[in-house]
Amino acid sequence: MTASTANAQRFREFKMPDVGEGLTEAEILKWYVQPGDTVTDGQVVCEVETAKAAVELPIPYTGVVHELRFGEGVTVDVGTAIIAVDTDPGAGPAEAPAAAPQEAAADEEAEPQGRQAVLVGYGAAPSSTKRRARKPQPGVPAQPEPAMAALQAELNGRAAPAAPATPVAPAVQPAPAAPAGSAVPAAGRPLAKPPVRKLAKDLGIDLATILPTGPDGIITREDVHAAATPAAAPAEAPAPVAVAAAEPGTVDTAARERRVPVKGVRKATAQAMVASAFTAPHVTEFITVDVTRTMKLVQELKQDPDMAGLRVNPLLLVAKAFLVALKRHPEANAAWDEANQEIVYKDYVNLGIAAATPRGLIVPNIKDAGAKTLPQLASELGDLVATAREGKTSPAAMAGGTVTITNVGVFGVDTGTPILNPGESAILAFGAVKLQPWVHKGKVKARQVTTLALSFDHRLVDGELGSKLLADVAAVLERPKRLITWG
């Protein structure tokens, strides 16, 4: 056995698993261990957030944590090693993990070419700068800074600023004045970076007419702007300089904005909503219904011994009414299979409940909800909501939904036009229950009223079927005894 093989068997890497259905990445929310901690097989070492839920990850090794490859808050691709464990810490000093040689190799690849080996170390590396040094112009002496500024101003068609006189060596003869509009000859193509060249082109400036001030004879943006500046008025009659005022109504809001990366549940929700909205043709219908009798039944059920310890609320009866209506119209419980060009009719109902959590909107579902009794439905609904609020909903709990209910009424909203959960046929929005004037038995009375909205996939559910489904939900809530006669 080679040393590298023994090292690989000793230091075991735990890779980010696919904890859901085809997930590609997850964010590390929290580490429960640190390097040097002892871990055992099956111990939870971290919590990660996938595109569907927060999940705790157990490690399949026993040993000592050697390295955490990523910190908290980092999104890691599935299949990437996130932690290394020394499974034989008593075998002596720990060797470097396998990742170290790769880093060294990368350093070797980055070694500049052309360096000559000497007895100790390497000789000086050649400069990476490929530009030529600026050559002195024929007949033009090297100019001190004030003289360069004067020459630049002259080239740009402006009067040179006044400068203190400097002694000139008598042996140097001044260059003959260039004709008006001519450029100082340049040795080859003017040196400038692509953005500077584009700037000069946009401003209509010929780079050959600009005297560079940058290192190695490079023309800078400042040189281009200086060349584009209009000629100043004569010194004896200076023009008043106007101070540029901020454009009226312009407000800098950058300091009052925050940017947050799109990831986790928010990223998954955004992708799902876009896919649904632009794939399934949505139709939304509305109905307003008197739910006074349903609200009375809620209060009675709270006192029923069979419902003791269970959460009883209007949403529970709305869910039951939806299930009864789907039983009467099973064609609405279907899915569109685009790949096979088939409609899949489902003889079971996995009822999704949209839940707002600190990490965003998730839609876990109650499996085979249509076959459950009211106490069973209440129990699972309560567990589902509690688990979602704790951020512990598993990806499996959010898979396989067929229809969904969203309770916008808890926010005081009358109704809305909900977007279908991808792969589902319908979603029912339950609005706020409010005391309103209502004609009841021929008289206007104060009644408890709500508005329901049903969005459905028009490829699967036509107008007649959708209307009947929504009308039956409303009918059950108006007269909840239909839960018995229709159920």
Q: Return the closest-CA partner of residue 284 out of 471, 407, 429, 423.
A: 429
Whether 458 is catalytic is yes
Buried b (16+ CB within 10 A) or exposed e, 323-356: bbbbeebeebbbbbeeeeeeeeebeebbbbbbbe
CA-based nearest residue to 483, from 286, 334, 300, 288: 300
Q: How far is CA 251 from CA 171, 243, 245, 257, in A?
A: 60, 19, 13, 13
Distance (Å) of CA 192 to CA 182, 189, 204, 220, 294: 20, 9, 15, 7, 78
Closest Cα to residue 462, out of 426, 431, 435? 426
Contact (CB, 8 A) for 207 and 200: yes
Which residues are bridge partners to 456 per DSSP?
A: 283, 426
CA–CA separation, 291 vs 117, rounded Å? 89
Percent composition of the chain: helix, strand, coil (DSSP 3-state, to 5):
30, 20, 45
Helix (H, G, I), strand (E, B) or coil at 454: strand
- 15-35 per-residue burial string, b: 16 or more CB within 10 A, e: under 16: ebeebbeebebbbbbebebee
- Residues with catalytic function: 458
